[in-house]
């Protein structure tokens, strides 16, 4: 993997910037004697890595040289593999459902440049195939696109241009535990070799955000929107009441902004629409007198006059239901 790494030299000693998180997780595993009773052991890290991708393949947020991923490594006994792989696949399905994504699944097999024996690769590939079959997940085989240390299941999302991007992945690895001489004490009192699963659910956060932005075209649902509502005043007279409304909303955890400028109301509304903010709360003299707000949805729907407390409940329900 050396060609994809960054190196620096300090005091005549060469250092490499980590391109992946699995190596440190294996060292943690190896720091003490492990028993079969400890397994499966699951290590998680929201880790930043650096990979020297060629200039020609760099692509916005989708393909970058520095990225952070929700990386986990599971060390288990061979007989635990099926249950662990199936559980990860269920986790991916749950997470993608929350975000409203459809995805395709590919089983990627041994690439031309790889490490490990043919027997280990066959075992790892069969383990992934069996888990997909048991979970009734349809998939296609992507010949030669596995990691250099093992085959993998790739979950690919489509962007607005129907291009596929690999985000979640499950990789089955018999090879690196061998290279790092990892072991556990089995029921027979002898040393045995664990198997390692590499998995990410969202994958590179930068790439996932890129796909997410394109998927919603910037019009995020309430629960995901960076700004969930904006308070707009008709004139300066409503500002004192509007400030109280903003304080109530932010105090309840609603992500809220205030447009109190001297601009015309129509201009403020257009600004909020351009920002694709889910709700605009227009406050005029009538709302001040009644102690209410007048929510207007991004799609143009008017919700009528509502007490602030009722609007807060509406927002909280939308967040709880992931709407």
Residue 73 among the catalytic residues: yes
pLDDT digits (tens, 9 = 90+) for 94-103: 999 998 888 9
| Structural domain range at position 66 | 2-216
Q: Judge if 292 and 182 occupy the same domain.
A: no
Q: Judge if 79 and 189 occupy the same domain.
A: yes
Distances (CA, A) of 87 to 201, 205, 304: 12, 21, 46
Of 22, 76, 229, 319, which residue is the catalytic one? Answer: 22
The C-alpha atoms of residue 323 and residue 311 are separated, in whole angstroms, by 15
Cis peptide preceding 40, ω within 30 of 0: yes
Residue 3 among the catalytic residues: no
Residue 276 among the catalytic residues: no
* Burial class, 293, CB count within 10 angstroms (exposed 0-12 / middle 13-18 / buried 19+): buried
**Does residue 202 lie within any of the structural domains?**
yes
Q: Is the dihedral of CA 210, 211, 213, 214 positive or negative?
A: positive
Q: Which of 191, 216, 241 is the last residue of a domain?
A: 216
Residue 215 among the catalytic residues: no
Of 34, 110, 198, 199, which residue is the catalytic one? Answer: 198
Q: Which of 216, 249, 267 is the last residue of a domain?
A: 216
Of 73, 110, 268, 296, which residue is the catalytic one? Answer: 73
**Does residue 211 lie within any of the structural domains?**
yes
Q: Taking a C-beta distance cutoff of 8 angstroms, is the pair 308, 293 a contact?
A: yes
Q: What is the per-residue DSSP string for 261-285?
A: SSS-HHHHHHHHHHTT-SEEEEE-H
Q: Which of 216, 244, 269 is the last residue of a domain?
A: 216
**Does residue 222 lie within any of the structural domains?**
no
Q: Judge if 167 and 265 occupy the same domain.
A: no
The C-alpha atoms of residue 160 and residue 166 are separated, in whole angstroms, by 15
**Does residue 223 lie within any of the structural domains?**
no
3-class secondary structure, 183: coil
CA atoms within a 13 Å half-sphere pointing along the CA-CB vector of 261: 11
Q: Judge if 186 and 289 occupy the same domain.
A: no
H-helix or E-strand spanning residue 30: helix 22-30
Q: Burial letters for 8-36: b for 16+ Cβ neighbours within 10 Å, e otherwise?
A: eeeeeeeeeebebbbeebbeebeeeebeb
Q: Judge if 131 and 159 occupy the same domain.
A: yes
Pairing relationship of beta strands 140-142 and 103-108 according to DSSP bridges? parallel
Strand partners, 157: 103, 165
**Does residue 304 lie within any of the structural domains?**
yes
**Does residue 271 lie within any of the structural domains?**
yes
Q: Judge if 265 and 132 occupy the same domain.
A: no
Q: Judge if 146 and 294 occupy the same domain.
A: no
Of 69, 171, 228, 238, which residue is the catalytic one? Answer: 69
CATH number of residue 253's parent domain:
3.40.50.800
CATH number of residue 73's parent domain:
3.30.930.10
Q: Judge if 184 and 274 occupy the same domain.
A: no
pLDDT reported for residue 94: 94
Q: Judge if 40 and 121 occupy the same domain.
A: yes
Q: Which two tokens stand for residue 100?
A: 């409203």
Q: Is the dihedral of CA 182, 40, 123, 150 positive or negative?
A: negative
Of 71, 120, 154, 173, which residue is the catalytic one? Answer: 71
pLDDT reported for residue 157: 87
pTM of the model: 0.85
Q: Taking a C-beta distance cutoff of 8 angstroms, is the pair 60, 212 a contact?
A: no
Of 152, 199, 268, 298, which residue is the catalytic one? Answer: 152
Residue 152 among the catalytic residues: yes
Q: Judge if 10 and 111 occupy the same domain.
A: yes
**Does residue 221 lie within any of the structural domains?**
no
The C-alpha atoms of residue 212 and residue 288 are separated, in whole angstroms, by 38
Of 51, 52, 86, 156, which residue is the catalytic one? Answer: 51
The C-alpha atoms of residue 158 and residue 212 are separated, in whole angstroms, by 10
The ranges of the chain with pLDDT < 70 are none
3-class secondary structure, 80: helix
pLDDT reported for residue 116: 86
**Does residue 288 lie within any of the structural domains?**
yes
Q: Judge if 203 and 110 occupy the same domain.
A: yes
pLDDT reported for residue 56: 86
- CB count, 10 Å around CB of 116? 18
What is the count of structural domains for the chain?
2
Q: Judge if 13 and 118 occupy the same domain.
A: yes
């Amino acid at each position: 993997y050396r060609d994809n790494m960054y190196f620096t030299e300090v005091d005549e000693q060469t250092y490499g910037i980590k391109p992946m998180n699995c190596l440190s997780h294996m060292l943690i595993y190896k720091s003490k004697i492990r028993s079969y009773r400890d397994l499966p052991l699951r290590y998680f890290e929201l880790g930043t890595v650096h990979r020297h991708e060629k200039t020609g393949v760099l692509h916005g947020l989708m393909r970058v040289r520095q990225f952070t991923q929700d990386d986990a490594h599971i060390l288990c006994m061979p007989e635990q593999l099926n249950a662990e792989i199936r559980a990860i696949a269920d986790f991916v399905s749950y997470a993608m459902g929350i975000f409203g994504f459809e995805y395709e699944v590919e089983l990627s097999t041994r690439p031309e440049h790889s490490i490990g024996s043919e027997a280990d690769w066959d075992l790892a590939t069969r383990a992934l195939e069996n888990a997909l079959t048991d979970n009734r997940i349809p998939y296609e085989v992507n010949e030669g696109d596995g990691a250099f240390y093992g085959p993998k299941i790739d979950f690919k999302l489509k962007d607005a241009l129907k291009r596929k991007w690999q985000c979640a992945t499950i990789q089955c690895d018999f090879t690196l535990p061998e290279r790092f001489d990892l072991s556990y004490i089995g029921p027979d009192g002898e040393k045995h070799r664990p198997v390692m699963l590499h998995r990410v659910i969202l994958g590179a956060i930068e790439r996932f955000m890129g796909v997410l932005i394109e998927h919603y075209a910037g019009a995020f649902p309430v629960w995901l929107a960076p700004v969930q509502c904006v308070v707009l005043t008709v004139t300066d007279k409503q500002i004192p009441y509007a400030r109280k409304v903003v304080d109530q909303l932010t105090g309840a955890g609603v992500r809220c902004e205030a447009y109190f400028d001297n601009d015309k109301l129509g201009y403020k509304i257009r600004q909020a629409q351009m920002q694709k903010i889910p709700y605009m709360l227009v406050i005029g003299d009538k709302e001040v007198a009644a102690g209410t707000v007048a929510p207007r949805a991004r799609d143009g729907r008017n919700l009528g006059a509502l007490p602030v407390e009722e609007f807060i409940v509406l927002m909280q329900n939308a967040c709880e239901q992931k709407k």
